[in-house]
Structure 1
């Protein structure tokens, strides 16, 4: 039965055979893949500190005979590009995954005011291991597990003697998770997505017909993703020297804007629930649900206490589906704030990144190739990914933004087994063979 993910008349460059499956599968060494994912996963690589992991990927590609280069906005944060194939006239496919992993900050002061001691002590932030047949560790989950899979996939194609007509790009990028320049943390040192896959697209010497952001998707696929806008909503009031303050009985009459947070938070929360429900966006390629929550609050200074504050800032993270712009939520939030009994307010979008989606017709050959490969390996037809995976930023957004049809797909997000990674590597290899064609 034809998958509903693509039209029935969709053509691919090359139809994989059972013989192809067996040859490539035989070229994938489960022990080598396990060693690679654990070695790469255990290299410290939080955002802004990806240099060691990027150098490891560069060396691995070179050692395994791939044409390799690097490009970066700064010397410490390089995008790595490996190439294979391209000896004929086939389509080019680009794999990408990110080197950075979510983790507490390198600044202990920030961590002290954001995480509990128990959270900070979680070994999975920076350590990876295999236990009871399952991988553990955030670096493997996100995103060096899927990265290892496509590296081994390319090596298996090479080892099995498959010369690709189109070119296969193998890329590892910094900064997909973040950070973003913000307040006093400004400049190139705090750039995230701008110096990762986006920089790679413009300066990496890559010309892709299709792209795959290799990420844990529980075997699902989506070709759309949300962006986001981070608003700073400043609430104005008056700081009054504590000894001369005549504190009002009604908390809402207090001059200090911190005391206005109760009704402000209530109003923002009510708005966010309606916003999420009203802007639910569903296509054949995924379900995007734009969620919102308060990420931070900043007011006054404990080093200069005794007189309250004139300003209280609320930082609100708002999702953007591929159909939305920041202007919509800006005007809605302005309306919400105008109804509150406060001295004044200002709403400023500190970061804006739109969501994107692939053209369903343009992406269909890539989707069919992936579906054929997944069916050959797992025996089941691939399904649309869970809405969480199409409601977040992943770097397929970068390529869809540039009109390069792109998807995100991959292994189980959490607690994958070595056998899962072998299957994922095989699916990636077969997809590449189908897209690029055999020379």
Structure 2
């Protein structure tokens, strides 16, 4: 990359060779990878309904000898955990990907207020297929395609006879996309991240030295992750019986707070522009560009008309870079509301998830392993992922939060090909070998992977 990012000392714990590449690549079957991705991707799994997809992964792991178990906050939303290796003194590596896929709620009474009919009719929400050499379907892009890649990677290591010294954890989690409990949509049925990788870490019997959130990154990597908050901004007014209403000259003087939404949204828009410019963050591990956007508006009761409403709510989503804290954003929004002069307003964060970032020195061996794997598999150094991939929540945040050095990396995000599946599986397999080491050749640690200058990102 041309941005000059460098990470001194990025060196894999164990060496991987051309011979390793050849042996593992020979054990990866493209047809099998495509069939697994399509089978897994075609199981409907919107947030809250991951049960069947989780069972599919569990059964696959059981057939392939990865000793799976289920760990769930609820019986219907399990984390699936398989293991391989652990016969020696290597480092432990955890792969994770999420079972849920972005989708409408499929509740017509809710979706009618968010989506066009043609958007709801898009088959890619829950169907996946191979056409003209590329894979279609949102579930494969996010995130069961990358999940397929590390499952196939683990099978390839096993098939090629690579027993690992360190332990390899293979995990499939619910709830990474969401939802979040807000207002009357409360309780465990609306929990997302709390019952996924976060729950797995605390209750799943895992002890990783490093972690990889397998998601589409166009083969780049980042150890930066943004968090987010949802602020409820309540604008208060007065309900006046419509026949008694005296229309004021300006909307700013109207007793119904809905009439002041224009001024408030204009103020939020200007605040968002400043916030995004001021919140940009860059480190060796990635560029974070947090954004803000109004997600929802609620005010009044449509069938109980007659006196307007006393209250209207805006729900503002705000990204948080790894260094930002919720209080500073709260203070900034309160200043914005006071300056806007829109009347009585109160602001409260109803969801808060801070962003996180791995320590560069601690994550360096993992980055070195991915770099060595990428060079052998794809013929070029690993690149730092595009800013969009470090400007969102991904579950590497969970592990960096818990002081486990973690990155996110994976195949071509949009319209991957069958070759992308096998290429990514090979990168994951070689990464695992470079981190965990081979059980029957722990002395390989003495033959450390070469350090390609001070820069695994190819910015020579």
> In structure 2, do the counterparts of structure 1 residues 4 and 235 end up closer, same or farther at CA, with 3 Å as the change threshold?
closer
Q: Does 1:239 align with 2:247?
A: no
User: Partner residue of 1:318?
Assistant: 318
What residue ranges of structure 1 are gaps of 5+ in the alignment? none
Contact 2:66 2:82 in 1 (8 A): yes
User: Partner residue of 2:250?
Assistant: 250
CA-CA distance at 1:12 after TM superposition: 2.2
CA distance in 2, matches of 1:52, 1:287: 36
User: Partner residue of 2:395?
Assistant: 395
User: Partner residue of 1:6?
Assistant: 7
> In structure 2, do the counterparts of structure 1 residues 49 and 226 end up closer, same or farther at CA, with 3 Å as the change threshold?
same
User: Partner residue of 1:194?
Assistant: 194
Q: Does 1:138 align with 2:138?
A: yes
User: Partner residue of 1:99?
Assistant: 99
CA-CA distance at 1:11 after TM superposition: 3.4
Contact 1:6 1:368 in 2 (8 A): no
TM-score by length of 2: 0.94
Q: CA RMSD, aligned part only?
A: 1.1
2:303 partner SS: helix
Contact 1:236 1:342 in 2 (8 A): no
Contact 2:227 2:321 in 1 (8 A): yes
Q: Does 1:84 align with 2:84?
A: yes
CA distance in 2, matches of 1:202, 1:423: 32
CA-CA distance at 1:189 after TM superposition: 1.0
CA-CA distance at 1:106 after TM superposition: 2.7
Q: Does 1:421 align with 2:421?
A: yes
CA-CA distance at 1:122 after TM superposition: 0.6
CA-CA distance at 1:16 after TM superposition: 0.5
2:408 partner SS: strand
CA-CA distance at 1:224 after TM superposition: 0.7
TM-score by length of 1: 0.98
User: Partner residue of 1:148?
Assistant: 148
User: Partner residue of 1:63?
Assistant: 63
What residue ranges of structure 2 are gaps of 5+ in the alignment? 440-460
Alignment of 1:11-410 (within 5 A): 11-410=11-410
Q: Which moved more, 1:340-349 or 1:317-326?
A: 340-349
CA-CA distance at 1:376 after TM superposition: 0.7
> In structure 2, do the counterparts of structure 1 residues 339 and 300 end up closer, same or farther at CA, with 3 Å as the change threshold?
same
Contact 2:105 2:111 in 1 (8 A): yes
CA distance in 2, matches of 1:363, 1:241: 63
Contact 1:147 1:214 in 2 (8 A): yes
CA-CA distance at 1:286 after TM superposition: 0.2
CA-CA distance at 1:339 after TM superposition: 1.7
CA distance in 2, matches of 1:6, 1:188: 41
Contact 1:127 1:137 in 2 (8 A): yes
Q: In the comparison of the two structures, how many residue pairs are matched? A: 437
1:106 partner SS: coil
CA distance in 2, matches of 1:129, 1:32: 14
CA distance in 2, matches of 1:363, 1:329: 29
2:118 partner SS: helix
Cα deviation digits, residues 157-212 of structure 1 (max 9, x gap):
00000010000000000000000001111111111000000000000000000000
CA-CA distance at 1:248 after TM superposition: 1.1
CA distance in 1, matches of 2:311, 2:394: 35
2:235 partner SS: strand
